[in-house]
Structure 1
Amino acid sequence: MKRYLYIIAALLLAGCGYTVKYSLSGASIPPDAKTFSVAYFPNNAAMVAPILSSTFTDALADKFSRQTRLVQVSEGGDFAFEGEITNYTSTTATVGSNDVATQNRLTITVQVRFTNAVDEKASFNKSFSAFSEYDTSMALQDAESALIPEIVDQLVQDIFQASASNW
């Protein structure tokens, strides 16, 4: 009886018309997608960190190069990313005794226009935001070198999940 259930399950799965390849990275990319492109993301926020645009753009391209079978092209990929950094702010996160700030929060927001040339319904124009906290005894300029890569990693992971996973 168990053998028949396996056969039926295999036939049902084989009969599905839409094939998606899954990988250990969590990506589920249609087999017809072969390329990806990442346009430069300018920093259009009121406050600007000089390394942020290149760090973000390179990290997004690197994520797709390392964790998918897609080949990077300069523009017009089957998976195409463009957008801009829209927010880069430091605010008070926590206040301790005597109403003194103890933690600040650096928040970065990125507007992403993702075009999926293989499945247009999967395309989106969406805002992604992530943050990390740092001690108020540090100046933002001193904390940025550790915070920016951490926040960028989270943003890139969120964008990867939104564009390359069917969760």
Structure 2
Amino acid sequence: MFPVILLGGCGVYSFTGVAITAETISIDMFYNDAEGGPPDMAQTFTNEIRDYYQSNTNLTLVEDDGELQLEGVITGYRLTPIAPTATNNDQLGGSTSALTRLTITVQATYINTQDDQFNFENRSFSFYSDFDSNQNLTTIEDQLLEEIFDQIILDIFNASVANW
């Protein structure tokens, strides 16, 4: 027969490494101040970051004045050629790019009303994804945005409630 061990105690525990004593969070609508990108990019980002905090914490999402508050703006949506290739086509200027990089930058402000040592203001978070320049951006843009947003949201999460 195996003995059963009961663990007890008090405190805040989390299997994700996130120890949060606050009960509420308000996440304002992120707005788009970047040139380019799909028209619903800010709404998509806001919904995804709200979902992420609700899925990975026990925080209750409230409209205003949460114990934790997050807001921000998408400040960059940039396409950059990153892998030049030689070509014999003079109409293209003698060279093209094999890869294009989509980079998105988000500025976020985080306020912890219980402990202001964790606050940050207008902190930039950026991530990118590379794609074959022969691909049509509109056909893969949603996939690229999802990949980029996932990383930016993780970075914001880690900087705020995970204290990393």
Q: How many residues align?
A: 148
What percent of counterpart residues are identical?
Answer: 36
Query: Cα deviation per residue 1:60-87 (whole Å; 9 max; x = unaligned)?
Result: 1111101111101011111111111000
State the 1:97 CA deviation: 4.6
Is this contact kept in 2: 1:28–1:166, CA < 8 A?
Answer: no
Counterpart of 2:145 in structure 1 is: 148
Counterpart of 2:110 in structure 1 is: 114
Counterpart of 1:165 in structure 2 is: 162
Counterpart of 2:64 in structure 1 is: 75
Counterpart of 2:14 in structure 1 is: 23
Segments ≥4 residues shifted beyond 6 Å: none
SS of 1:54's equivalent? helix
For structure 2, the 5+ residue unaligned runs are 1-8, 88-94
2:127 to 127, 130, 134: 130
For structure 1, the 5+ residue unaligned runs are 1-13
State the 1:145 CA deviation: 1.5
State the 1:49 CA deviation: 1.6
Is this contact kept in 2: 1:113–1:124, CA < 8 A?
Answer: yes
Is this contact kept in 2: 1:55–1:149, CA < 8 A?
Answer: no
Is this contact kept in 1: 2:80–2:100, CA < 8 A?
Answer: yes
Task: Report the Cα distance in structure 2 between the residues aligned to 1:87 and 1:107, rounded to whole angstroms.
Answer: 7
Is this contact kept in 2: 1:60–1:156, CA < 8 A?
Answer: yes
TM-score (norm 2): 0.83
State the 1:22 CA deviation: 4.0
Task: Report the Cα distance in structure 1 between the residues aligned to 2:151 and 2:32, rounded to whole angstroms.
Answer: 17
SS of 1:75's equivalent? coil
State the 1:93 CA deviation: 2.0
Amino acid aligned to 1:25? T
Amino acid aligned to 1:131? Y
Is this contact kept in 1: 2:118–2:163, CA < 8 A?
Answer: no
TM-score (norm 1): 0.82
89-98 vs 117-126, greater mean Cα deviation? 89-98
State the 1:51 CA deviation: 2.5
Counterpart of 2:91 in structure 1 is: none
SS of 1:137's equivalent? coil
